[in-house]
Structure 1
Amino acid sequence: MRGAWEALTSWRGRGRGRGRENKATSSGRLASARALAKSLNDTSRCTLLSFYSPTCRLCHGLGPKVASACASEANWLRLVKMNVDDEAWVPEVSYYGISYVPCLVLLDRRNRARYKSAEPKTGQVVMESLGDMLRDGRRKFGGRRKDAVA
């Protein structure tokens, strides 16, 4: 009988062949990893983790709206997108208890999870969750810190 981890990762090696991956996938993963590392080390801003799947139509439709909303809050918020289908993000998916996509998690300046979006029954539910997160986050964390460097 196979272990739980083996069952979780049994899809490895299928498709394009073992050890080979698409350059776009590799560069996208690297950019996301860099963005996460930079965000977690930057205590002047909060972080919004956006968990998505490239095969999810709802994720595809809401992605630009989420990015636009976060861009308008750039003075206190940074967006990091994470592809749940990429095995590199398994630890984060597990740590934050992601069981559906799209899922948004707001981290405060000390990288503590403060808010998690509601289960995405419709795009409107996700956008309402995002609006609530941004409104509360702006009120609690949006003010500039005195010791933050611009």
Structure 2
Amino acid sequence: MTANSPDSGSPSPQTPKASLSSRLRNFIIALVAIILGVALFLGLQTQTGSASLDAQAEESTPLEVAMSNGKPTLMEFYANWCTTCQAMAQDLGELKQQYTDSVNFVMLNVDNSKWLPEILNYRVDGIPHFVFLDAQGEAIAQTIGEQPRPVLEANLEALVADLPLPYTQGDGQVSTFKAPVSSSKTSPDDPRSHGSQVN
């Protein structure tokens, strides 16, 4: 056997090219897998945020009760598609647990036409939109956009103590929302009604 014979075990001239092609293919597969993993993670985070908002809305105090039970109220206008609302959901859920005995937490979904009178009354044009109501149900302050937890907590402390709210001019990150021009009622069968039971 000669040193250049096919049986000598030396690499063929095609091996480096095949190896480079194989590496490139493996790199692309790994890159696509990473991108898909990140997209799946972000998608699950959004679904989790929406589920959390829905769960909190189900557990929130009905507006009619909040207006008549003699406790101050934090009213939040929100939507499931609002990423800022989703980002604040955990903090608001924890604050709700902390202040459940002394403050009503009301959540009104801006996608539900049932709340159009309130949307127009409080001039909601971005969400999250928070309205602070005293024990008699009168609006005393409003904030719009993302609010840090310490700011919300300080405002809730003042609300409970019937003192002026320290942070009511904050305008954090907002999801733009435009209320429908007319307040005409939609049929429960109308797909735009989003169901009559949605908060």
Structure 1 Cα separation of the partners of residues 63 and 124 of structure 2: 17
Q: Which residue of 2 aligns with 1:20?
A: none
Q: Report whether the alignment pairs 1:57 with 2:83.
A: yes
Q: 1:41 aligns to what SS in structure 2? A: coil
Conservation of the 8 A alpha-carbon contact between 2:134 and 2:162: no
TM-score norm. by structure 2 comes to 0.48
Q: Flag the structure with larger Rg.
A: 2
Q: Which residue of 1 aligns with 2:99?
A: 73
Q: How does 1:122-137 map to 2 (within 5 A)?
A: 123=146, 125-127=147-149, 129-137=151-159
- Residues 33 and 80 of structure 1, relative CA distance in 2, 3 Å threshold: closer
Q: Which runs of 4+ in 1 moved over 2 A?
A: 30-34, 125-129
Q: 1:72 aligns to what SS in structure 2? A: helix
Structure 1 Cα separation of the partners of residues 93 and 61 of structure 2: 17
Structure 2 Cα separation of the partners of residues 74 and 32 of structure 1: 11
Q: 1:64 aligns to what SS in structure 2? A: helix
Q: Which residue of 2 aligns with 1:40?
A: 67
* Superposition deviation, residue 70 in structure 1: 2.5
With 71-80 and 30-39 compared, the bigger mean Cα shift is at: 30-39
Conservation of the 8 A alpha-carbon contact between 2:77 and 2:128: yes
- Residues 38 and 47 of structure 1, relative CA distance in 2, 3 Å threshold: same
Q: Which residue of 2 aligns with 1:98?
A: 124
Structure 2 Cα separation of the partners of residues 83 and 39 of structure 1: 16
- Residues 70 and 87 of structure 1, relative CA distance in 2, 3 Å threshold: same
* Superposition deviation, residue 55 in structure 1: 0.6
Q: Report whether the alignment pairs 1:139 with 2:165.
A: no
- Residues 126 and 98 of structure 1, relative CA distance in 2, 3 Å threshold: farther
* Superposition deviation, residue 33 in structure 1: 9.5
Q: Report whether the alignment pairs 1:108 with 2:134.
A: yes
Structure 2 Cα separation of the partners of residues 33 and 73 of structure 1: 12
Q: What residue identity is the alignment partner of 2:84? A: L
Structure 1: gaps (5+ residues): 1-27, 142-150
Identity %: 20
Q: What residue identity is the alignment partner of 1:48? A: L
Tell me the C-alpha RMSD between the 2 structures. Answer: 2.7
Q: 2:91 aligns to what SS in structure 1? A: helix
- Residues 62 and 71 of structure 1, relative CA distance in 2, 3 Å threshold: same
* Superposition deviation, residue 34 in structure 1: 7.1
The number of residue pairs the alignment matches comes to: 109
Conservation of the 8 A alpha-carbon contact between 1:105 and 1:115: yes
